[in-house]
Amino acid sequence: MKKKKINTEQFFKENQELGFIVKVLSKASTADLIDEHKFDNKEFIRLIKHHRLDSIFLKAVQEQNIKLPNELKERLEQINKRNKMRMMKLTAELIRIHKLFTENGIDYISLKGPALSQQIYGDYTIRSSRDLDILVKVDDLDKVNSILNDNGYYTDVNNFDNHNKAHHDISFVNKKLEIQIEIHTRLFSFDKLYNYSNTELFKNKETIILNNYNISILEKKTNYEYLYIHAQKHSWELFYWITDLIKLGFNKKELITSFFINQQNNKRKNHFSFLLYTLSLNKSTKHKYNVFAIYFRRFINWIKKSK
């Protein structure tokens, strides 16, 4: 089967704002990209938020000395400040969980999140994350559940054995902290997506220093593969997955082409995937309400701060 070709110049012309974002992050020529008469600031900010690129984009702009319209720059700096505060909060919670798990003899691996941001950017506040993802051993699941329950986290999953047969993670929500933790028992629901067993993952894990604590992460090669499969599984929907992989050494041109193709062809698929999640039976109405409540409160707080 022939690989589908994509006309990048045509794509940039039809999607000026997204094209500009991609060119800045891929360090292509950007001198002639901003036309203030055609550039839609509202659409640009929407895309930055959707693709979770606020701090990453601003860092790239500063490094390349790119001049942005003052309105855009100020808006980006506001979003960047909120993201950094969010990542500091998540990092503090990851370290707290690290201490709790270590004290109770629970082996774990931090997936993505602040640890990955520290690994590829040298700064745990750059990459944007909505929650914490932590891999644990199935045998430790009851113990993990007890520890998280004692520390303000709630899950609606009652039977872990039945849940694990179909799903690779369990959501825990702390309404007071407004933080969600995804406890993984394997990397993907379908084992065939990944060639490594949990035994291998824990045997070969590495550590990264995060605020003077040794946080466990996936071994470099397996982490590359995990992030690639994760992005592919989600149809390359978010560009910040692409920036992760470029930073980790994957072929930039191939990744960006995959992103363009899926942006054009998979809009319906992405909407359908979200609909399936919304209607999925593995998340109770009560759990979905709690997650919604967290994001709603964050929105209200943002409105108050903006006034």
Distance between CA atoms of 255 and 196, rounded to whole angstroms? 23
Q: What is the DSSP string of 88-148?
A: HHHHHHHHHHHHHHHHTT--EEEESHHHHHHHHHS-TTTS--SSEEEEE-GGGHHHHHHHH
Both tokens assigned to 290:
């709690």
Residue 288 CA: distances (Å) to CA of 3, 101, 156: 39, 26, 10
Residue 150 CA: distances (Å) to CA of 136, 165, 174, 247, 261: 18, 26, 11, 38, 46
Pick the CATH number of 83-258+266-306 from 3.30.43.10, 3.30.460.40, 3.40.190.170, 3.40.710.10: 3.30.460.40
Q: What is the DSSP string of 6-44?
A: --HHHHHHHSHHHHHHHHHHTT---TTT--TTT--HHHH
pTM of the prediction?
0.80
Both tokens assigned to 294:
């967290």
Per-10-residue mean pLDDT, the chain, length 307: 56 77 74 57 89 90 85 89 94 97 96 94 91 94 94 87 78 92 86 75 94 94 87 82 85 76 57 43 50 59 56
Distance between CA atoms of 276 and 262, rounded to whole angstroms? 19
Evaluate whether 194 touches 225 at the Cβ level (below 8 Å): yes
Distance between CA atoms of 236 and 259, rounded to whole angstroms? 5
Q: Which helix (H) or strand (E) holds 179?
A: strand 179-184
Q: What is the reported pLDDT for 150?
A: 95
Domain boundaries, the chain: 83-258+266-306
Distance between CA atoms of 123 and 116, rounded to whole angstroms? 9
Q: What is the reported pLDDT for 133?
A: 95
